[in-house]
Structures are given as structure tokens and as C-alpha cells.
Chain A
Amino acid sequence: MAQQVGGTGLEEAIRLTLRDLAGLVPRLAASVITGAVLILVSVLVVRLVSRLLRLSRIDEILDPVFQRYGVPFTFSSLVNGLLVFALTLLTLYASIVAGFPEYGWAAAEIVTVTARIASVFVMILLVYVTINYVTEKLRMEKGLRGFMALVLFDISLILLVDVTALSPVVKQALAWGLSLGLGLSIAVFTAWYFFGRRGETAGQQA
């Protein structure tokens, strides 16, 4: 009797699962088709923009400026990268919404979070470029370059903490700690940089 009930339950479960899966097929198909079409359109748009940028020869004008500031990419690759990023998000969003409109909020959330992560990377890149430029400009020694790398690491860490899924309290504590550490290390470095020699001379005299 129990076997019969169990057998019926399993059959029922399999039937329901298959029905659910069958119900998902058209929605998945809509998602996949939308994604495929948008990927195709994206490839065409990226090719068009690449061709337009090549035609404008903007890199010939901006490359010397970018090299001077130690920017590790060209203007065209920046525009292309931003375009690919936006088109990827668009494709992702559209394919979710096409098949599963009730999860539109989730798609929007994915786009927002991805954009935040991307903005952190952009900030890190900007800090890297700036520090690189300052290091080059002041012709710093090897040790100082190491310090600059430490500063860059600290700043990147603070920015990364902002996009993590930690609780607000932990986030705040980490950000405070890292910021204090960063401020202190800059203060110690500045004191050593400007008054280090005087200290050494005083030490020798003593």
C-alpha cells in the first residue's frame, strides 16, 4: 500500500516537474532567441563603431597624450570596451525580460550591481593612471614606487569593500580602518620624505 502511494507520489512529482519544464520551454526559447539576435546586433554595432573610430583616426591624435600619462589602452579600445560592456548588459537584461518578465526587477538589479562593480574598476584604473603619472613626474625611487603601489592597493580595497555583500556595519568598520591606515601611512611617508634626512643628520650628530 505504502509502495503504491510512494510510486504514485513519484509519478506525480515527475509529471509536475516535466509540466513545469515544458512550461519553461517557450520562455527559455524567447530568452535564447532574444539573446542571440541582440548578440548579432551587438557584434554589428561594435564592428561599425570600430570602423568609424578607425576612419576618424582619433588614436593617431590621442595616442601621444595617452602614452604621456601612462594610460595602458587607446581611446578606441576604451570606447569599444565601454560599448561592449553596455551591449552585454543590454543583451542580458533583454533576454531575461523577454522570457521572464516577472524577474525584470532582478535583471535591473544585475545591471545596477554590474555597473557599480564596473565603476569601481574604472576608479581603480583612474587611480592607477594618476599614481603612475605622479610617480613618473616626480621620478621616484624604487622604494617610493612600492609605497605608491601600497596606496593604490589600499584605495582599491576601500572601493571594493563598497560593492561587497557584507553587512553595512562590517562595511563601515572596514572602510574606516582602511581609510585610517591609508591616512596614517601617507602621514608617516610624508614625514619621512620631507624630514627623514634632517632626522638622520640629527642622529649622526648625536
Chain B
Amino acid sequence: MLVAEAGTAGFYIAITRGLAPVLLAFLGLGVDDVMLVVLIAYAVALSVLVVLRGRGIRRLRRSLVLLHGLERVVWGLLPLAALLGAVATILVYSLAVSLATVTGLLITTTIFSVFDEKGARRVIAHRSAASAASNILGQLVAIIVLAAMHTYSKYIYLYLLASGVGLVATAILALSRLPLPSSVGAARTSIGGEEEAVSGTVFLYMVAYMASAAVLAAAWAPYMIHVLGAPDYLAAGLGFVQMVTSIAASLYWLRVPYPVYKYAVLALPWIPVAIAASRTPVLHLGLASIYAFSATGANLLASFLYADLSRRLGAFASSTRVAMAAATAQVVGLSTALAASRLGLWAVFASSAAYAALAAFIALYSLPEIALVPREQAVVHARRLYMVTSAALGFVIVVSKRAIILALRVLALVLALSILLFTYRLLYYLVALPH
């Protein structure tokens, strides 16, 4: 049922999330503006996850079906909201991304709570392959409709179609008889021991390689079109090649033992360098294939490790970390891409390579399953890394919290004084103008 859900959802995701940047660009937003909108949306999603992490979720089945359906409806409304203006677009897009993140969290929780380690691995890999296959179909439909129609209504048709197909996935979930727990509790902040350290390290690893992927996704297609002068279809082909590769890659990585994953992790930092160095556009299709193969391995490694840890950490705690890592990576990656794009595309690729290298370092230094050092030593490294990061993160959270509170207070004061000023100006014009 979960694989069938992913098989249907891939089509919907290809159109809704895949086309969102194109839709925003169609409305006149520049590359930086699009990145900023996506960044805001993921920052909102991350805040929602932080709140959920502390509260847990009651009535898991009902919440899953409701939020799953609501997410599809909200995504379907995006092109209509875009007609109302920028603020409405940002609001609806942020809501849609937040709902998608929470739905993802609930599905991962479902997988982790229903299946054992082996079963969870199999379901994750098969879902990944099924989603990629239907994603290709979604991309083809999007390309055909976008090419065939020239008015804005093509976006409305596509989003409504995707929303409808997505609701089929909701129906599949609603009809499934998965033995779900009635509710999942708040994530425990500290359980101590090896699991906590390894889980923290996997989180860091996920954030680093996903941030690298987010930066690369923001720069690759513009680089091909604007710098290498490649035709549009070749740039669009990047996504297609990656999807096709990831179907085969998911099935391959499912069958290999953990130590083999280190090659996927090691290959990742070199790909942004190769992209920046390669001046022949056709070669990029090969690079896209290699990248998708390695990235699928790197992604599945983190998911599998969390699936293994979910027995000891709890299904909700593990899936919350997966979802938070993905949202944090988008925020970190897109902020980096925005900052680096001012220096030039080379800086964007360099930052992508740096994040991937950081992910490789974390994995080979402190992830016991694939570390280059003995297991005991890797666990010690993981603990050390976890402690340093926890302290740094704690500091950043405290500072950010205070900064946000201060900004809100200043905003409240400015608003109060603005109301006062408005009242006096109104009074002045009322008395002064007609007489």
C-alpha cells in the first residue's frame, strides 16, 4: 500500500513541487527571488516541525489521511493563489511545503512503526523506485502540457490534474489497513548513549549532503543554459536522467551491504567540481546519472540508518529527525546558494562541493557502519562530534530565539506608533483639507 501510495504520489510531486519554481519564474520572479520564496517556505516548515517535535501527534491514522489530502488540495490551489499576488503565493506555498513536510514525517513514522529494520529498508527503497518511475511520467505530462499551451491556464490544469492524482494516493492510504499506533509521543530530547550520538551524527550527515544537493539543484540548470549555452531540452533532460537512474540505483543500493555505501558518499564531492570543469553540455547528462546514483545511495544510507535506530529511538523521534534534516538542509543550502550566487556560479559549485565533502568526512569519520576507522573509535568520534554540535546548536538556537523575540518586539512597537501616526494624519487631513 505504501509503495502504491509513493507510485501515485511521484506523479503529483513532479508537477506540483517540480513546477513551482517554473510557475514563480513565469510570474516574473528572478532566480534569487524564487530561491528566497522557497527558503521562506522551508523555514516555516522547519518551525512547524520544531513545534510538532515537542508535542507529538494524536490519532496518527486520521491525521495522516487528513493532512495528506489537505496537502494535495493546497498544492492544487497554488496557481490560483499566484493570481492574487506575491503575498498570497508565498503564504500558500509556505503552507503547502509545511503540509508536505508534515505528511512526509507521518509517512516515515508509519514505515518506522509498522515494519522492522529489514522491512523498513525494503519499503523505503521500493517507494523510492516507484516514486521515481511515476515522477518521470509526471515530468513528461508537464513538458507536453507546457509546450502545447501558451496561456496561464496550463498551470491551473496541471496543478488540478496533479492534485486529483495525488488525492488517489490519499484514497489508497485511507483504504489501507496498516496497524498504526493510535498516537505518537513527543520526541525525547535526550536518551543518552551510543544511539543518541550516532543519531545526531546521521542528522549532521543528512543536513550536509542534502544542503549540497539543494545548492547544486539551484545552480546546475542555469549554469548549463547561461554559461554553456546548452538548449532547454538538455537542461530539462538532467532531471529526467536523474529520475531514471535513481529507479535502478534504489534497487541496487537495497542489495549491497553498508560498507559499499562509502563509495557513494566519496563520489559526491567530486561531482560539483566535475560539473564546473566540464564544458561539454552532453557530458552533463552522464554526470547527472553518476550524481543520481551516488545521491540515491547517500540518501538511502541515512534513511536505513534511521530505520535501524528507530527501534531504540522511537519511530516518531527518528522520522522527526529525517524530516527536520531535510528542511534544515533546504534552509542552509538555499541560504548558501543565495549568498554564493553574488560571487558567481563557481562559488555556488564550490559550496556544494564543500557541503558534500563535509558529509563525506562526517560519514567516514564517525558513522560506525561505513567509517574508515574501527567501530569503537567511530562511536567515540560520533560522541565528540555530537557534543560539539549540540553546544554550537544550543548557542545558535538561543541567539536566534532572542533575535526573533527582539525583532517581534520592535515590530509591535513600530505597529503601535504607526497606528498613532495614522490616526493623527487622518485627523489632520480631515480638518485641514476641506476648509
Contacts and interface: CB of A to CB of B under 8 A. Distances in A.
Contact of B427 (A45, A48, A90, A104): A90
Contacts of A152: none
Contacts, number: 58
B413 A111 contact: no
| Binding site secondary structure of chain A | helix
Contacts of B178: none
A55 B412 contact: yes
A111 B417 contact: no
Nearest to A46: B419
A56 B418 CA distance: 14
A56 B420 contact: no
Contacts of B426: 90
B408 A55 contact: yes
A39 interface: no
Nearest to A89: B427
Interface string B400-435: 000000001110110111011001101100110011
B427 A93 contact: yes
Given A93-B431, A104-B435, A111-B431, A83 B412 contact: no
A108 B427 contact: no
Contacts of A87: 423
A147 interface: no
A79 interface: yes
A93 B413 contact: no
Interface in B340-375: none
A82 B427 CA distance: 12
A18 interface: no
Nearest to B417: A79
A94 B412 CA distance: 28
Contacts of B434: 104, 108
Given A55-B409, A56-B409, A56-B410, A79 B416 contact: yes
A56 to B, nearest CB: 4
A127 to B, nearest CB: 23
A52 B424 contact: no
Contact of B413 (A52, A83, A86, A105): A52
A25 B408 CA distance: 49
A53 B416 contact: yes
A105 B434 CA distance: 9
Contact of A108 (B413, B419, B431): B431
Contacts of B417: 79
B413 A53 contact: yes
Interface string A29-57: 00000000000000001001100110111
A180 interface: no
B100 to A, nearest CB: 32
B427 A56 contact: no
Contacts of A48: 419
A93 B424 CA distance: 13
A83 B435 contact: no
A140 interface: no
A56 B408 CA distance: 8
B427 A86 contact: yes
A49 B419 CA distance: 8
Contacts of B424: 82, 86
B427 A57 contact: no
A58 B420 contact: no
Contacts of B410: 56
B413 A58 contact: yes
B431 A112 contact: yes
A79 B420 CA distance: 7
B319 to A, nearest CB: 35
A83 B430 CA distance: 16
Nearest to A60: B409
Interface in A160-206: none
A121 to B, nearest CB: 16
B420 A83 contact: yes
A108 B435 contact: yes
A86 B423 contact: yes
A197 to B, nearest CB: 50
A56 B430 contact: no
B433 to A, nearest CB: 10
Interface in A76-122: 79, 82-83, 86-87, 89-90, 93-94, 104-105, 108, 111-112
- Top 5 nearest A-B pairs by Cβ distance? A56-B413, A52-B416, A56-B412, A55-B412, A86-B423
Interface of B: 408-410, 412-413, 415-417, 419-420, 423-424, 426-427, 430-431, 434-435
Given A48-B419, A90-B430, A111-B427, 7 more contacts: A45-B419, A49-B419, A49-B420, A55-B409, A56-B413, A79-B416, A89-B427
12 contacts: A45-B419, A49-B416, A49-B419, A52-B419, A56-B412, A58-B409, A86-B420, A87-B423, A89-B427, A90-B427, A108-B434, A112-B431
